[in-house]
Amino acid sequence: MSRNLLCVLSDSLAHLIGSSLLRAYMHGFFMDIRLYHKAKMMANPFAYEEYRREKIRQKIEETRAQRVQLKKLPKVNKELALKLIEEEGEEQQVTRKRKQKNLPSLLKDDRFKVMFENPDFQVDEQSEEFRLLNPLVSKISEKRKRKLKLLEELEAQEQEEEEEPEGKTSDAESSESSDDEKGWVEEVRKQRKLLRQEEKVKRQERFKEDQQTLLKPQFFEIKEGEEFRSFKDSAKKQKLMKKTLGDRLKLEEKLGTLNVSDTTVGSKQATFKLKKSEQQKKQQEAEKQHRQERRTLRRSASHLKSKRGRGRLFH
């Protein structure tokens, strides 16, 4: 038990810190469980009454369930529970006639009890997975019902052991199974088509919403000494890239950025001069003007001579 929990439980237990009743261990204390229950009862005297009422209510519900067996549906997945109850009743009738052992019910199984109690396990019938699987599940359930009906008929005809009716039933069963397969395939295709149509409608609605939203213009600030010529430069670059290497070299020679000269050995030497931006040119001019101003303001130091009298000037 931590110190904060000890203060919340009871302020009167603080003087027991360090004694055998509250032994320090890491960031908390060890306490006797009997002392804990007494302190908890003193802090919240109505906790036991609430616990007692809850237990009484549970006992009453248990006795009611034993007295009257009602098909009470759970709060979660009611349709699934009703379907399982109906299938269980049909199967019990057949197994009772055939004197077989009854299988445990899914609703009474503790492993699947949370499915019908926790809302997180609620089946979403509008989801894509359910709508695509539902035709197959419904066809399987119909096939199961027909199979149960066939078993009942076979039970009624136990004494007749002729081969021809059996062959007829097998043929009928195979034809029914093929019809079932065609039926659920068509149902799945129908559901897929409906899902595509719904998705198309959603896309159209999103497109209309995008058209209705007005896009605000965005402004960009350009630095001093720079010009906005991105569109012109991109067009010029595209035209220049279409030309050959020789044409591009000639164009660079005309602009003065390229200088080609012959050497004594017979090879050629190419010198590239990178263009300076407007900002660099302005910066160089400002530095040049600053140097000129410094020259005009500078005082001459020719009248100052060294201490030894040699006429050496200070620099």
Cβ 29 vs Cβ 16: under 8 Å: no
Domain boundaries, the chain: 3-63, 76-123, 125-156+164-210
In the block, tokens 């890239």 appear at 241
Q: Which of 90, 211, 80, 200 is nearest to 146 (CA)?
A: 90
Establish how many alpha carbons lie within 13 A of residue 67's alpha carbon, considering only the half-sphere containing its beta carbon: 6
Question: Does the pLDDT at position 288 exceed 80?
Answer: yes
Give the tens place of pLDDT for each residue, 140-150: 666 666 666 66
Q: Model confidence at 296, in pLDDT bands (50, 70, 90)?
A: confident
Greater model confidence, 284 or 44:
284
Cα gap 253→230, rounded to integer Å: 24
Question: Does the pLDDT at position 108 exceed 60?
Answer: yes
128-156 and 78-98 are packed helices; what angle lies between their axes, rounded to 10 degrees? 20
Instruction: Give the pLDDT confidence score for residue 125 in this predicted structure.
Output: 72
Give the tens place of pLDDT for each residue, 195-220: 888 888 888 888 887 777 766 666 76
Give the tens place of pLDDT for each residue, 10-62: 666 777 777 888 888 888 888 888 888 888 877 777 777 888 888 898 888 87
Greater model confidence, 284 or 174:
284
Q: Which of 44, 38, 45, 49 is nearest to 16 (CA)?
A: 38
Q: Model confidence at 166, in pLDDT bands (50, 70, 90)?
A: very low
pTM, full prediction: 0.27
Instruction: Give the pLDDT confidence score for residue 305 in this predicted structure.
Output: 66
Strands 258-262, 28-31: pairing is unpaired
Amino acid at position 306, single letter? S
- φ, ψ of residue 30 to 5 degrees: the values are -95, 135
Instruction: Output 184-191 pairs: Cβ under 8 A, ≥24 positions apart.
Output: 184/135, 184/136, 184/138, 184/139, 187/135, 187/138, 187/139, 188/132, 188/135, 188/136, 190/135, 191/131, 191/132, 191/134, 191/135
Instruction: Give the pLDDT confidence score for residue 205 in this predicted structure.
Output: 86
Q: Model confidence at 156, in pLDDT bands (50, 70, 90)?
A: low
Greater model confidence, 4 or 160:
4
Question: Does the pLDDT at position 168 exceed 50?
Answer: no
